[in-house]
Amino acid sequence: MRRTCVTVLASRGSIGLTLILAILFAIPHVRAWNLSTASYSSKSVSVNGEATFVYGLIMSVDGTKMYFGGYTNGYVYQYNLSTAWDISTATYANKRLLVTGQTSAPLDVGISHDGLTFYVQAGSMIYQYGLSSAWDLSSATYANKSYSTSAQESLDCHHFIDSSGTRLFVVGSGQKKVFQYTLSSAWDISTASYDGKNKAVSTQAGLPYELSFKTDGTKMYVSDFNTNRIYQYTLSSAWDVSTATYDTVYFSFGSQETYPTGLHFRENGANFYVMGRSNTPDKVFQYAMTDAFAPAVSSLSPADNATGVSLTENLVITFDENTRAGTGTLTIKKTLDDSTVETITVSGALLSGNGTTQLTFNPNTSLAEYTGYYVVWSTNAFKDTSGNNTVAQTSTTYWNFTTADLTAPVVSAIASSTSSTGATITWSTNESGSSLIQYGTTSALGSTTAETDTSTRVKAHSVSLTSLPACSTYFYRPISKDVSSNAGIGSLSTFMTTGCTNSAAVNTQTGSSVNTTGGSLTMTRGGQVPLSPCQLLPVPIRSRCKSRSSTKTR
């Protein structure tokens, strides 16, 4: 039996056309892509009306067009589907492309994501064509670009291009491996080069013939001509075929087709299609992969174990697929005593984003500051578009957070003890905090000690000031900061260092002022005659002064 190369350049690339992006995002999100859930949809279409020995299969991103090659006549054909992705509605569009200038036996076809670049496989050669009208095969002309994979694989091969149009994958029955290439210019097949990466699939597929990938590059599917099965692999690093491992999952299509020549997966993984030649006439069969998985949480906001959370924070749950409210509840509880703060009916008015991947709840209750909380939800609280319900989340440690501390420590019991060269300031706070002192010889202060007690914060504080002059008055203010940097500020206070003498001398009258504490004060003028207290007064009132302790001396 003659078996030659078959290539599908599946169009999984990114494009800039608004129309195509709209089509892609309009496709319902189905978390399928699991062959263990696959089944025959009892839908098929005959494709023998235009050609026999059909090879290769590719469909447009919106599921309304299908393309395949005719091995015996050198043509590639276009079909239209009146109902997107329903293969039973496919009919010939009376559009075809003659490729005998490059090959008389087209074995595989592909089309780019924007419908403007077309590919034809023959042997190990891939030829590239340009379409002047997107998705219209009759508008295609050869672009004088090609690439050969014969250095790695040339027998029974199949090709696939990733979502960026920069990675090409090849599988064949000669080496029984999947090879990986890089296109330095996206979707330009002439710029391909081998990456030196491959994955052996011979343990599963004795005659590997077809190849496809999940649109995010984390799943790979290889069909086997011998067993009429499709085998499923997981790539731990997206689009890196060297990281692929077999999932121990496969699907057998042998009841419908035993001579497979084409394979195509729908953009969202809900369907796949197998073309073959074992039936008369040749047919394309449709299969479905159901979503058998409940939505999984991708992220939470506030994040688990978050601190400093706002007292009016919304609760946001992001899932890995479109999710809607079910019939359950979501409950906020206090960590300290498990008391219920608020129970929210998930289908009520407090929910926004219903039916998307991100559900947001706006609680009615404002939370208390610097308090630990956790969130739980009941059975059937959330479900996906296939009706798969999430399991109840009842763990007290799954979603925890602590609200912000907004209140500063209260400073009290401020006291000072002094020496001739310094002072020790003590104070208390109602919560643990750091310690520092602002101080100076005026009420403007101006100096600040280093902040202490930051590693282990305290409620009883003590800070020493050193190298101060004797008999000096200082203003000071204690400050303590809690772990949230809220600063408690004490009242402005004063202290006076010790070391004052019992007498003092004044050597000038002009602009002088003297304070004494205890003892007596004796003043002289020019070091000759002691001055009485009245003589120290301003001249206008000096004559009215009567000394009670001494007689004026002139």
The per-residue pLDDT for range 395-434, each reduced to its tens digit, is 999 999 999 999 999 999 999 999 999 999 999 999 999 9
Where do we find the tokens 């029955």?
173
The answer to the question of residue 550 being in a domain is yes
Q: Residues of 238-265 as b/e, b for ≥16 C-beta within 10 angstroms?
A: ebebeebebeebbbebeebbeebbbbbb
343 Cβ contact partners less than 8 Å away, ≥ 6 residues apart:
329, 330, 331, 332
Peptide bond into 533 cis (omega under 30): no
Count of positions (residues) in the chain? 554
Where do we find the tokens 């069969």?
285
Per-residue pLDDT tens digits for 149-200: 999 998 867 889 887 889 999 888 899 999 999 999 999 999 999 999 999 9
**Residue 354 sits in the same domain as residue 226:** no
CA distances from 315 to 83, 298, 519 (A): 41, 14, 73
**Residue 253 sits in the same domain as residue 341:** no
Q: What is the rounded (10 degree) CA torsion for 78, 84, 86, 91?
A: -30
What are the percentages of helix, strand and coil residues in the chain, rounded to 5? 5, 45, 50
Q: How many CB atoms lie within 10 A of CB 534?
A: 16
Question: What pTM did the predictor assign?
Answer: 0.58
Residue 21: which H helix or E strand, with range? helix 18-26
If phi > 0 it is left, if psi is from -120 to 50 it is alpha, else beta; for residue 526 that is left
| CATH number of the structural domain spanning residue 386 | 2.60.40.1220
**Residue 239 sits in the same domain as residue 216:** yes
The answer to the question of residue 7 being in a domain is no
The answer to the question of residue 2 being in a domain is no
**pLDDT value at residue 535:** 55
**Residue 223 sits in the same domain as residue 356:** no
**pLDDT value at residue 502:** 60
**pLDDT value at residue 537:** 53
Q: Residues of 150-159 as b/e, b for ≥16 C-beta within 10 angstroms?
A: eebbbbbbbb
The answer to the question of residue 213 being in a domain is yes
**Residue 149 sits in the same domain as residue 185:** yes
The burial of 223, by beta-carbon neighbours within 10 Å (0-12 exposed, 13-18 middle, 19 or more buried), is given as buried
Domain count, the chain: 4
**Residue 442 sits in the same domain as residue 373:** no
Q: Which of 348, 381, 403 corresponds to the end of one domain?
A: 403
Instruction: List the domain range (segments joined by +) for residue 549.
Output: 504-554
Q: Which of 496, 521, 544 corresponds to the end of one domain?
A: 496
Cβ atoms of residues 471 and 496 within 8 Å: yes
Residues of the chain with pLDDT under 50: 1-30, 503-529, 547-554
**pLDDT value at residue 48:** 81
Give the chain's end-to-end CA distance (angstroms, integer).
143
Helices and strands: H and E segment counts in the chain: 2, 41
**Residue 360 sits in the same domain as residue 425:** no
| CATH number of the structural domain spanning residue 455 | 2.60.40.10
**Residue 375 sits in the same domain as residue 427:** no
Residue 464: CA count within 13 A, CB half-sphere? 5
**Residue 461 sits in the same domain as residue 534:** no
**Residue 464 sits in the same domain as residue 361:** no
- From the list 65, 78, 70, the residue with the least C-alpha distance to 48 is 70
In angstroms, the CA 156 to CA 177 distance is 11
Phi, psi dihedral angles at 502 (to 5 degrees):
-85, -10
Q: Which of 471, 496, 521 corresponds to the end of one domain?
A: 496
**Residue 204 sits in the same domain as residue 327:** no
Cβ atoms of residues 190 and 182 within 8 Å: no
The answer to the question of residue 11 being in a domain is no
The answer to the question of residue 4 being in a domain is no
CA distances from 172 to 109, 142, 157, 266, 398 (A): 16, 26, 4, 23, 47
Residue 122: CA count within 13 A, CB half-sphere? 19
**Residue 81 sits in the same domain as residue 216:** yes
